[in-house]
Amino acid sequence: MLHQRASLPTPTSTNSFWHTEPDAFLRGHRTTEALPAEADIVIVGSGITGASAARYLAEDERASGKSIVLLEAREACWGATGRNGGHCQPLLFDRSSEVAEFELKNVAAVRSYIHDNAVPCEWRDVTGCRTFWTEEAMAEAEKEIQHLRETCPEIARYVSIIKDKDELKKKHRVAHDCVGATLSEGAASLWPYKLVTFILKKLVQNGHLNLQTNTPVTEITTSTTTSEKGAADIHVLHTPRGTITSKTIILATNGYTSALIPHFADLIVPCRGEMSALLPPRGSTLLPNSYGMVAALGQAANNDDYLIQRPYDSVPNPAAHLMFGGGRGAGNLPSIGVSDDSAIDKGAAAYLRRALLKVLELDGQTAGLEELTAVAEWTGIMGYSRDDHPWVGQLPGRKGVWLCGGYTGHGMPNGTLCGKAVVSMVLGVGEPGVELSDVQASMVRAGDVPESYILTSERMERARRLLTVQQQDELGVNMNGVV
């Protein structure tokens, strides 16, 4: 069962709510009228990872004087980051404690940047309430949390379990037929597009970045040149506007990676997710948490639903929209292996309009209400990793081609520091006599990247011995799909 390579981003996509307030400076932005013929470093993709990589390059003295060009197929932040659920929530017991610690650091780094720069992106610190709707799903969560308590109590202290139905209803507004829930500290919600466009605009205006939007990369070719310093690989990025060459490329392309790196088609697989912005019932009050729903309303346990609520005091959109995503189990269209975000899945969209009235205790005028009004419905493309971990590092046999992606729907609590990690690798090997393996080992020891994220040929081989992403999905293996 082989996965086909992803397509390039579709020219015409569904309309994300997050794009209803587009950044005027960045719409159609090209820092230079012509595409530069060459650059020291080219980043492909302008989501949270690409923007973070550009930011950390600008902040690192080792990159001083280097020309940085960022290519985006569509408008700035028009892919998954501009289409996700608005969560920045670490998963503390689903993977290793090393990963949990990294995700906590990532959320803290995002929080710090937003506070230091007064970024107007509706950042809201919340507790993540993950609800479980079958005894089996709850038992698995309790087992994982117990393991975390035994192996890493300093992380486990951020997680608690609630099975008291009255407490769930009164304090967390969860419906009575929920089996139980976990509460995770350190979570947040935000308007992700506004954060990324703030970063990009600041970099461009300060002269640190040449941003070229509506410039899809269609192919990357490589040639080897020789000089007095030895052999060097020169990469040519082909676009409809011409070519740009560079010795260093950072691919922040996530679910679209295999469109440019075909042999990654089975390792990072696109998956289409459904999102909605729903009007809360009239007279309702703000929900206290962000939410995840596992195995709700008959869905498979590996199809999580996810919810944040925008604040009521936001301007100019004060409606406190319920930003609700998921419903994959109710969908009519395929999702795994799909890289087209121009279509709405009507089955999943209908589920999202109706489900919150059943799984939460929404207050206000709910009598007779069968579904909530959607002011926007859209889709986005996630990148599912075959071994459930992001891929951060240099492509084997492609010196100077770096990859950072494959978040399995969990990019916001990873992309910022993964972008920083790939920059540290790129600049580290640029120093004389420094080996990539030494740089990576030092970063792992410092907690700057989990060892399980590092891209190696050995890891690629191990991943290919696992079930394919499609097989894992069909068998219900938990792949944490929070866009």
What's the average model confidence in pLDDT over 12-35?
A: 98
- For residues 361 and 414, state if they share a domain: no
* Of residues 394 and 482, more confidently modeled: 394
Closest-CA residue to 75 (of 21, 113, 119): 21
Closest-CA residue to 86 (of 236, 285, 311): 311
Kindly tell me if the per-residue pLDDT of 1 is higher than 80: no
What pLDDT is recorded for position 65? 96
Q: What is the 3-state secondary structure (H, E, C) of the chain?
A: CCCCCCCCCCCCCCCCHHHCCCCCCCCCCECCCCCCCECCEEEECCCHHHHHHHHHHHHCHHHCCCCEEEECCCCCCCCHHHCCCCEECCCCCCCCHHHHHHHHHHHHHHHHHHHHHCCCCCCEEEEEEEEECCHHHHHHHHHHHHHHHHHCHHHHCCEEEECCHHHHHHHHCECCCCCEEEEEEEEEECCHHHHHHHHHHHHHHCCCCEEECCCCCCEEEEEEEEECCEEEEEEEEEECCEEEEECEEEECCHHHHHHHCHHHCCCEEEEEEEEEEECCCCCCCCCCEEEEEECHHHCCCCCCEEEEECCCCCCCCCCCCEEEECCHHHCCCCCECCCCCCCCCHHHHHHHHHHHHHHECCCCCCCCCCCCCEEEEEEEEEEEECCCCCEEEECCCCCCEEEEECCCCCCCCCHHHHHHHHHHHHHHCCCCCCCHHHHHHHHHHHCCCCHHHECCHHHHHHHCCCCCHHHHHHHCCCCCCCC
> Does 138 fall in a domain?
yes
Neighbours of 125 (CB within 10 A): 12
- For residues 161 and 287, state if they share a domain: yes
- For residues 180 and 75, state if they share a domain: no
The partner residues of 313 in beta bridges, in order of sequence, read none
What's the average model confidence in pLDDT over 212-238?
A: 89
Q: Say how far apart CA 162 and CA 60 lie, in whole Å.
A: 44
Average model confidence (pLDDT) across the chain = 95
288-336: pLDDT as tens digits: 999 999 999 999 988 899 999 999 876 555 689 999 999 999 999 999 9
Tell me which of 323, 351, 382 is where a domain ends. 382
* From 69-78, 279-288, 444-453, the region with the lowest mean pLDDT: 279-288
What's the average model confidence in pLDDT over 337-342?
A: 97
Q: Say how far apart CA 231 and CA 218 lie, in whole Å.
A: 26
Number of domains in the chain: 2
132-185: pLDDT as tens digits: 999 999 999 999 999 999 999 999 999 999 999 999 999 999 999 999 999 999
Question: What amino acid is encoded at 189 in this protein?
Answer: S
Closest-CA residue to 62 (of 448, 456, 439): 439
397-436: pLDDT as tens digits: 999 999 999 999 999 999 999 999 999 999 999 888 899 9
Kindly tell me if the per-residue pLDDT of 446 is higher than 70: yes
- For residues 282 and 336, state if they share a domain: yes
- For residues 176 and 198, state if they share a domain: no
Question: What amino acid is encoded at 191 in this protein?
Answer: W
Q: Say how far apart CA 205 and CA 217 lie, in whole Å.
A: 24
Phi and psi torsions of 349, nearest 5°: -65, -40
- For residues 326 and 372, state if they share a domain: yes
Kindly tell me if the per-residue pLDDT of 479 is higher than 60: no
pLDDT above 90: percentage of residues in the chain: 92
Peptide bond into 318 cis (omega under 30): no
Kindly tell me if the per-residue pLDDT of 259 is higher than 50: yes
Kindly tell me if the per-residue pLDDT of 376 is higher than 60: yes
What pLDDT is recorded for position 68? 98
Give the CATH number for residue 291: 3.30.9.10
Q: Say how far apart CA 36 and CA 210 lie, in whole Å.
A: 9
What pLDDT is recorded for position 53? 98
What's the average model confidence in pLDDT over 255-280?
A: 98
> Does 119 fall in a domain?
no
> Does 101 fall in a domain?
no
Q: Say how far apart CA 37 and CA 43 lie, in whole Å.
A: 14
What pLDDT is recorded for position 230? 67
> Does 104 fall in a domain?
no
What pLDDT is recorded for position 367? 93
> Which pTM was predicted?
0.96
Tell me which of 318, 349, 382 is where a domain ends. 382
- For residues 292 and 377, state if they share a domain: yes
- For residues 289 and 351, state if they share a domain: yes
Question: What amino acid is encoded at 310 in this protein?
Answer: R
109: CB partners within 8 A, 6+ apart: 416, 417, 420
How many Cα atoms occupy the beta-carbon half-sphere of 85 within 13 Å?
A: 27
- For residues 279 and 182, state if they share a domain: yes
- For residues 154 and 277, state if they share a domain: yes
> Does 111 fall in a domain?
no
Tell me which of 338, 357, 382 is where a domain ends. 382
> Does 118 fall in a domain?
no
- Using pLDDT thresholds of 50, 70 and 90, give the confidence band for residue 66: very high
> Does 245 fall in a domain?
yes
The parent domain of residue 156 ranges over 124-188+269-382
What pLDDT is recorded for position 480? 45
Closest-CA residue to 78 (of 39, 29, 32): 29
> Does 341 fall in a domain?
yes
CB 403 within 8 A of CB 395: yes
- Using pLDDT thresholds of 50, 70 and 90, give the confidence band for residue 481: very low
- For residues 339 and 424, state if they share a domain: no
- For residues 359 and 462, state if they share a domain: no
Give the CATH number for residue 44: 3.50.50.60
